[in-house]
Amino acid sequence: MRPRVSVVMTCYRQEAFVAEAVRSLLAQDYHPLEVVLSDDASPDATWDVLREVVGDYTGPHEVVVRRNQSNLGPNAHNGVAFGVARGEFLVRAHGDDVSEPHRVRRLVETWRARRPTLISSNALLIDGESAVHGQYLAPSSSRGIALEHIVEKGWDKPMLGASYAWEKRLFDTFGPIDRRILPRGGDHLLPFRAALLGGMFFLDEPLVRYRQHAGQQTRAIADRTQGDDVFMETLHAHNVTARLAMLHDLSQLRRAGVEDERLARARERLMARIVGETRHWVQRRNTLLLRDQRPTWVDREILDAVEVDHAFEPESPAA
């Protein structure tokens, strides 16, 4: 008997792309499939387009459409949206990407054959007009991603979050990602969680059309317009934050009575990586301060569009 699977699409401000994204999920050739579509209180027409596409659907999949009353941000929105899903195996989708019609079926086949906790796949790169611009990763071999590799790298190209699918126990065990610990970048943490459980597996098949465009959420982490030092300062700071979140998950397992040599080695190596990344972060930050540059954590066009509440800026120390 085939397992029940849920594909969960989260979207925010993606009115230009969400129709194509939704139709690609409704066209999946796997059954039984639940399609959960969740909007994070988009201020544009994303919600209207989403409902219009679903309203015309007469196919076999069960469809759940929902919207947050207020904007929660990526990690919190994922927690809510996936909490609605009832499948034992969960497939992630985004409102600006396109899934190949056989995507869910191939992920489920791989999961049943190898039983990893999390699977990622290769992808095709597309632009805002849906034209293909090659493959995300050059063809290689499908392979497992070891815990040691994840601890060392933090994030690596086979860990493309837009391609993720995972067992329900990934969140049952650890709970949703606490945005106070990791405000952004759940893609760094989920492979680590999976490696602590049943492992992570990379499937070298392009199952997603991964869209590259100016409004992409992944572009909102660091300022890429002010030179290498600004970008690398934010990157090192994010890497420290992600590894601290990993350390938090290890502590959670320890409190639950789970402890062995493998986890002890991971904890020791994590501590070393946190110290190393912090050193690099401080070096980059000091370089910026000596140049009278201000680190920024968003792209310049986004930063300029945001009103800064100066009431929350720290006061200058007294002379």
Banded model confidence at residue 297, pLDDT cuts 50, 70, 90 = low
- Rounded to an integer, the average pLDDT of 228-237 is 87
Per residue in 89-124, pLDDT (tens digit) is 999 999 999 999 999 999 999 999 999 999 999 999
Is domain 5-218 annotated with CATH 3.90.550.10?
yes
- 3-class secondary structure per residue, the chain: CCCCEEEEEEECCCCCCHHHHHHHHHCCCCCCEEEEEEECCCCCCHHHHHHHHHHCCCCCCEEEEEECCCCCCHHHHHHHHHHHCCCCEEEEEECCCEECCCHHHHHHHHHHHHCCCEEEEEEEEECCCCCEEEECCCCCCCEEECHHHHHHHCCCCCCCHHHCEEECHHHHHHCCCCCCCCCCCHHHHHHHHHHHCCCEEEEEEEEEEEECCCCCHHHHCCCCCCCHHHHHHHHHHHHHHHHHHHHHHHHHHHHCCCCCHHHHHHHHHHHHHHHHHHHHHHHHHHHHHHCCCCCCCCCHHHHHHCCCCHHHCCCCCCC
Task: Give the per-residue pLDDT at 317.
Answer: 34
Which residue has better confidence, 199 or 254?
199
Per residue in 130-175, pLDDT (tens digit) is 999 999 999 999 999 999 999 999 899 999 999 999 999 999 999 8
Task: Give the per-residue pLDDT at 86.
Answer: 95
- Rounded to an integer, the average pLDDT of 14-24 is 97
Task: Give the per-residue pLDDT at 2.
Answer: 92
- Rounded to an integer, the average pLDDT of 44-59 is 95
Q: Tell me if residue 21 falls in helix, strand or coil.
A: helix
Task: Give the per-residue pLDDT at 219.
Answer: 57
Banded model confidence at residue 311, pLDDT cuts 50, 70, 90 = very low
Q: What percent of the chain has pLDDT over 90?
A: 71
Which residue has better confidence, 310 or 178?
178
